[in-house]
A and B are shown apart, each in its own frame.
Chain A
Amino acid sequence: MASHPRPVSPHLEIYRPQLTSVTSILHRITGGFLSVGILPLVYWLIAAASGPDAFNQAQALAGSIVGRIFLFLWTGAFFYHLLNGIRHLAWDAGWGYELPAVYRTGWTVLIGTVVLTILAWVLGYWARGNV
């Protein structure tokens, strides 16, 4: 029988995204994005150790519009990766494999990410007396 170049599954161009596949790839994307965040974290610690000038410069960078946008995105990525990571650990323990449970925990992760991200920023501004 002649072999034909048949589409390989999952054929991503025509594959309808589902909650299961979206939460899966988001775990990788947020993990990669959070890894990049290690660089500014270590830079910030070095700046704090280096003296007032270096620290003020790092703080100005973090407080700038671009800095705040990235910090917000990292906050969202963090809470997503944390909540979905706990979901993965539950699966590793053999819990939550039934399809309704997979969807229930998936939506919980997404909604929890939005709630905790907003909460963290509201508390952050509130702690600084800006709310």
Chain B
Amino acid sequence: MANARRSLRSELGRVRGLGSAKEGVQHWWMQRITAIALVPLSLWFVAGIVFVIDVDRATAIQWLGSPLTLGLMSLFLIALIYHAVLGLQVVIEDYIHSHATKLVLLLLIQFAGFGLAAAGIIAMLLITIYGG
């Protein structure tokens, strides 16, 4: 028993022959990948809002409607929403202790994430194709 305690693996995990690292690493890793991607993408987005977007609609549409903006904005939305869902998931798992509420909230942020990403990218496609 003293020897078994030296290992960080749980008794159950040892018996089942499973490692501690399955989907947990995927969550951790995707959070880092999206974080690294968001460093340049979010700075590009904020610079666009600060320098390009004005009350004048023509300038906004011109910037939003370029293929480069379509590509970068789509990547930004995907990385941003993926990162946000992963982060919110951990916050919900940490603070919500009722299983039913937790499940509902986790489903809600997943569906909201996919829905918002789809809506944002479709809007960008429409602006690029039809000029808003």
Q: Is A114 an interface residue (CB 8 A)?
A: no
**Which B residues are CB-close (under 8 A) to A92?**
32
Known: A31-B87, A56-B57, A82-B39. A49 touches B127 (CB 8 A): yes
For the complex, give the distance between the alpha carbons of A51 and B57 in Å.
Answer: 10
Q: Of the candidates B46, B54, B55, B132, which one forms a contact with A48 in the assembled complex, judged by CB atoms under 8 Å apart?
A: B132
Segment of B4-12, B17-25, B100-108, B115-123 engaged in the interface with chain A? B115-123
Check if A38 sits within 8 Å of B84, measured CB to CB: yes
Q: Which residue of B lies closest to A34 (CB)?
A: B84
Contacts of A56 in B (CB 8 A): 57
Flag if A52 contacts B57 (CB, 8 Å).
yes
Q: Contacts A32-B88, A35-B84; is A49 near B123 (CB within 8 Å)?
A: yes
A86 — nearest CB in chain B belongs to which residue?
B39
Give CA–CA (A88, B35) in the complex, Å. 10
Residues of chain B contacted by A35 (CB below 8 angstroms): 84, 87-88
Q: How large, as a class, is the contact surface on chain A?
A: 20 to 34
Of the listed stretches A5-13, A16-24, A39-47, A98-106, name the one at the interface; the rest are far from the partner chain.
A39-47
List the B residue with the shortest CB-CB distance to A129: B54
Interface size on B, residues (CB 8 A): 35
Question: Which residues of chain A from 25 to 72 have any CB-CB distance to chain B below 8 Å in the complex?
Answer: 28, 31-32, 34-35, 38-39, 41-42, 45-46, 48-52, 55-56, 59, 63
The residue of chain B having its C-beta at the shortest distance from the C-beta of A41 within the complex is B120
Given contact pairs A55-B57, A86-B39, A127-B51, A46 touches B119 in the complex (Cβ within 8 A) = yes
Are B84 and A55 in contact (CB-based, < 8 A)? Answer: no
B residues neighboring A (CB under 8 Å): 32, 35-36, 38-39, 42-43, 46, 49-51, 54-55, 57, 60-61, 64, 73, 77, 80-81, 84, 87-88, 91, 116, 119-120, 122-124, 126-127, 130, 132
* Given A32-B87, A82-B38, A85-B35, 9 further pairs, Cβ under 8 A: A31-B87, A35-B84, A38-B81, A48-B60, A55-B132, A59-B55, A88-B35, A92-B32, A124-B51
Chain A residues packing against B (C-beta within 8 Å):
28, 31-32, 34-35, 38-39, 41-42, 45-46, 48-52, 55-56, 59, 63, 75, 78, 82, 85-86, 88-89, 92, 120, 123-124, 127-128
